[in-house]
Amino acid sequence: MDIYLLLFLIIVLLGSVAVSTYYFKDKNEQLRAIQSGICPKCKKESIVLSDQRGGGCGPKLVSFYCTDCGYENSFSMNSGCNIS
């Protein structure tokens, strides 16, 4: 195999790993802020739940919306079966 092609593939691989790691870390931080009622964009307590799909014993898709700056994002969350 061509050494330059191999080098190129390694760079692409490392790049995509770095991007996805950054993306998930960022998403987790946003979710943590939202769960405490704070908008990750404008840092105000104006986050409202706008949509919720799924549920039961599977993962559900929850959408949040900021009434102040218009930020919105959806997260998939695992809902346990034993929550009363």
Residues 54-83, mask of contacts with Zn ion (x by CB under 5 A): ------------x-xx-x------------
Q: Which of 31, 41, 75, 77 lies at the binding interface for Zn ion (CB under 5 A)?
A: 41
Q: Are strands 59-66 and 47-54 parallel, antiparallel or unpaired?
A: antiparallel
Q: Is 42 in the site for Zn ion (CB under 5 A)?
A: yes
**Amino acid type, 77:** M
What lies within 8 Å, CB to CB, of 37 at 6+ separation is 45, 47
CB of 68 to Zn ion, least distance (A): 4
Side-chain-facing half-sphere of 74: CA atoms under 13 Å: 11
Question: Which positions lie near Zn ion, rule CB under 5 A?
Answer: 39, 41-42, 66, 68-69, 71
